[in-house]
Amino acid sequence: MHASAQFLSPADVAARFGVSTKALRLYEQRGLLAPVRTASGWRTYGPDEVARIAEIKTLRSLGLSLAAIERLLAGDGSDLAQALALHHERLEEEVRRTTGAIAAVRHIRAELAQGRTARVGELLHAVAPSPPASLAIELPWPWGGERFELREIRALNYIIGPLGSGKTRLAMKLAEAMPGAHFLALDRLEIAPDLVQARLESDPSLQLRVNAAQTWLIDEGAAPSLALTALLLELEAASSAPLVIDMVEQDLGRETQSALGAYLRRRPAAARPLFVMTRSSLILDLEEVGPNETIILCPPNHSPPMVVLPYPGAPGYETVASCLATPEVRLRTAGVRVVGPAPQ
């Protein structure tokens, strides 16, 4: 056996690669990793396992599902071409943005060389990224007009709270306040299969995107269903306007929720903003929350909504953790409503 100094604990590996210990266990379950066990049964990762983790992280960054990574590491590279094509598109978009910034800086330098004064607006546009979108609203009942500010709208924004906390009203108000935003209600689950098929056939580009997303999700363990397809129809629509989704996990099983959580987290920072209502610990995995995600909590006492950082000890963190539930618990509480005073 190698010297113990060459072996890392799960916590050390997680810190080095920016992955959670839960992800490491998932890689092990899928047969992608085989950590060495100490005499007392603890997992440790040697040089070979550490190198494999680096490979997995790189392939995940290209958008490959775990099943596709399994196939690739086994010698089947059929999934890699599409992943690289999408990565190529992202890189070209970054190049276009950088080229535009370089041209703007070159123009300002030429203006300065000729003795002209650069305008502050031009300078900011050339050297600073676009400011993040923000939002301020007057809260509906039960908050009675209090002000709520979301200083940065990220690619993925969770809305969470216990039953009766007002999170549905907040979600609808957010959709109303954002230009072009769409509120995807639970009636999406009532759509007929023939209408789903008709919509896909009427838009071949959308059909390709939905099929690709379904393939990725099924590779991650999701089960095909009409509820999942109805959700993907909206998630993959060609729109840059925000999308607000009522209880995103509704009618989706455990494995599908877990795959959907991973699918939502892999979206790029510049993607269409999503606001997803959820109480699922598989959709909102507090160990996996990244920099492109925001948690909005509606407290149980009707205090104003608040943004919660995904760290134990942060204000509101324990309340968020207590709101999250497994699919089995969500199934038992489906349809339960808290009776309170009528809206004013």
Q: What are the pLDDT tens digits along the chain (344 aa)?
A: 444 558 899 989 988 888 888 889 889 988 999 999 988 889 999 999 999 999 998 988 888 888 888 888 888 888 888 778 777 777 787 787 778 778 878 878 887 888 877 676 666 666 665 666 789 999 988 888 788 999 899 999 999 999 889 999 999 999 999 999 999 999 999 989 999 999 999 999 999 999 989 999 999 999 999 999 999 999 999 888 999 999 999 999 999 999 999 999 988 887 899 999 999 999 999 988 988 999 999 998 888 999 999 999 999 999 999 999 765 655 555 554 444 444 44
Report the pLDDT value the prediction gives residue 305, as an integer from 0 to 100: 94
What angle, 0 to 180 degrees and rounded to 10, lies between the N-to-C axes of helices 204-219 and 193-202? 120
- Rg of the chain over Cα atoms, rounded to whole angstroms, equals 23
Q: What is the pTM of this model?
A: 0.77
Centroid of chain to Cα 264: 4
- Sheet order of strands, 306-308 included: 182-184, 243-245, 274-277, 156-160, 293-297, 306-308
Report the pLDDT value the prediction gives residue 172, as an integer from 0 to 100: 96
What element of type H or E holds 265? helix 254-265
Report the pLDDT value the prediction gives residue 66, as an integer from 0 to 100: 87
Tokens (6 digits) for 59: 């392939």
Query: 281 CB contacts (<8 Å, ≥6 apart)?
Result: 324, 325, 326
Query: Please, is 265 exposed, middle or buried when counting C-beta atoms within 10 Å of its C-beta (0-12, 13-18, 19+)?
Result: middle
3-state secondary structure of 203: coil
CB atoms within 10 A of CB 119: 11
Q: Cα separation of 170 and 117, whole Å?
A: 46
> C-alpha distances in angstroms, 323 versus 154, 191, 291?
22, 29, 22
Report the pLDDT value the prediction gives residue 342, as an integer from 0 to 100: 43
- Please provide the size of the chain in residues: 344
CB atoms within 10 A of CB 201: 10
- β pairing state of 43-44 and 36-37: antiparallel
3-state secondary structure of 141: coil
Report the pLDDT value the prediction gives residue 206, as an integer from 0 to 100: 92
Closest CA to 125 of 103, 96, 109, 104: 104
Report the pLDDT value the prediction gives residue 5, as an integer from 0 to 100: 59
Tokens (6 digits) for 161: 């709270």
Closest CA to 275 of 172, 187, 188, 186: 172
Q: What is the pLDDT of residues 308-327, one digit of tens each?
A: 999 999 999 999 999 997 65
The answer to whether 220 and 67 are in contact (CB under 8 A) is yes
Q: What is the pLDDT of residues 9-51, one digit of tens each?
A: 998 998 888 888 888 988 998 899 999 998 888 999 999 999 9
- β pairing state of 306-308 and 293-297: antiparallel
